[in-house]
Amino acid sequence: MRAHGRKVLALIALVVMTATGCVAHKNNSGPHAAPDAVPLSTLADLTLQVGDQKGGTEALLRAAGQLDGLPYRVAFSTFTSGPPQVEAAAAGSIDFAIMGNTPPIFGAASNAKIKVVSAYGGGGPGNRILVHADSPIITVTDLRGKSVAVGKGSSAHANLLAQLDKVGLKPSDIKLVFLQPADALSAFNQHQADAWAIWDPFTAQAEQQIPVRSIAEATGVTNGDWVGVASDRALADAKRNTALGDLLVRFERAAQWAKAHPQEWAQYYATAVGLDPQVAAVAANRSLRLPTELSDDVVNSEQKLADLFAASQQIQASPKFSNWVDHRYNEVLRPNLVS
């Protein structure tokens, strides 16, 4: 009876652990209720940690004057691409970052403690598959058996998979070479890769500095969106949650300013991130992140990408993406969306 009793107690303990989330592989249960907002005047001691890529977020906010007179502080950290930003947010090292449409899919697949809280359109034209100008590759179909450099888990990775799927090819039909943008540029430039799937400003940089052709772009094939990703830790904290809501509105205003002042924005961007003015002029305006509604359509299109990654065996299983989406800022952002 004692042995039987111990078995019963062990079973009860297992059930309790499962119900309370003590099992390591517990699935994300979706967004939690937002904490009550606090007055902005109480945020003087707060530093919001924000991830950035190639100066895009910080440069836009500064160019538009939206970091002037902040009631809190912002510390920006630069990352090579979206996937390491997801890792940092999941670990609580940063509170927020804007990234391409794919990194949060990989985050969701690994049960990362993050949520998508905003969406930005307009990324399709700068997300392209490039080949050398003298390459015999004319269409995506011609990539069969060829090597393609791409950042794993990036929006370019999604574009590449979608383009392959469109013409009936699988990732196994090509040679995937996973490289971060700087290394991929070097490999492609030295003809160590036959093609390069990449996003702006690197696309614009290659187009200006190397004889290349684009054989495909994301427009009309993937959603071409960027998304704003926050850490669960930040969303659960009343002060960080309030500051993030304010910063998202400021980013909307900055995007509106940039759309209305394309030359001023391009000039500022070139100086801020050390790009050639011609490169900056193309990238800054072709791939301006335009705040859009974090709608069911956006979430559904992200789910389709997640399903594609799973079907292509790039991730083990397709997560239910809506569990990694939090619409808490939709109402405050809606009046300033950029169409």
The three-point CA angle 156-118-90 to 5° equals: 70
Percentage of residues in the chain having pLDDT higher than 90: 88
- For residues 303 and 132, give the distance between their C-alpha atoms in angstroms, rounded to a whole number: 33
Q: Give the pLDDT score at 21.
A: 34
> Is the predicted pLDDT of residue 17 greater than 50, yes or no?
no
Q: Tell me what the mean pLDDT of segment 314-319 comes to.
A: 95
pTM over 0.85: yes
Same fold, 40-121+225-336 and 127-217: yes
Above 60 in pLDDT, residue 25?
Answer: no
Contact assessment for residue 165 and residue 312, using Cβ atoms and an 8 Å cutoff: yes
Each domain of the chain, given as residue ranges in start order, spans 40-121+225-336, 127-217
- CB 121 within 8 Å of CB 127: no
Task: Decide if pLDDT at 3 tops 60.
Answer: no
Instruction: State in words which class domain 40-121+225-336 has.
Output: alpha beta
By C-alpha distance, which of 116, 113, 325 is closest to 232? 113
Q: Is the pLDDT of residue 190 over 50?
A: yes
CA 275 – CA 205 distance, rounded (Å)? 8
Question: Reduced to 3 DSSP states, what percent helix, strand and coil does the chain have, rounded to the nearest 5?
Answer: 45, 20, 35
pLDDT for residue 27: 57
Report the mean per-residue pLDDT for the chain.
91
Residue 195 has phi, psi (to 5 degrees) of -150, 165
Q: Is the pLDDT of residue 138 over 60?
A: yes
Q: Show the DSSP H helices in the chain as ranges.
A: 2-19, 56-63, 82-90, 103-109, 155-166, 181-189, 202-209, 232-236, 238-260, 262-273, 277-286, 296-311, 330-333
Query: Which CATH number is correct for 127-217, 3.20.20.70, 3.40.50.300, 3.90.1150.10, 3.40.190.10?
Result: 3.40.190.10
pLDDT recorded at residue 9: 36
pLDDT in tens, 240-249: 999 999 999 9
Per-residue confidence at 235, pLDDT binned at 50, 70, 90?
very high
Q: Is residue 119 scored above 70 in pLDDT?
A: yes
Give the tokens for residue 82: 């979206």
The one-letter amino acid at 326: D
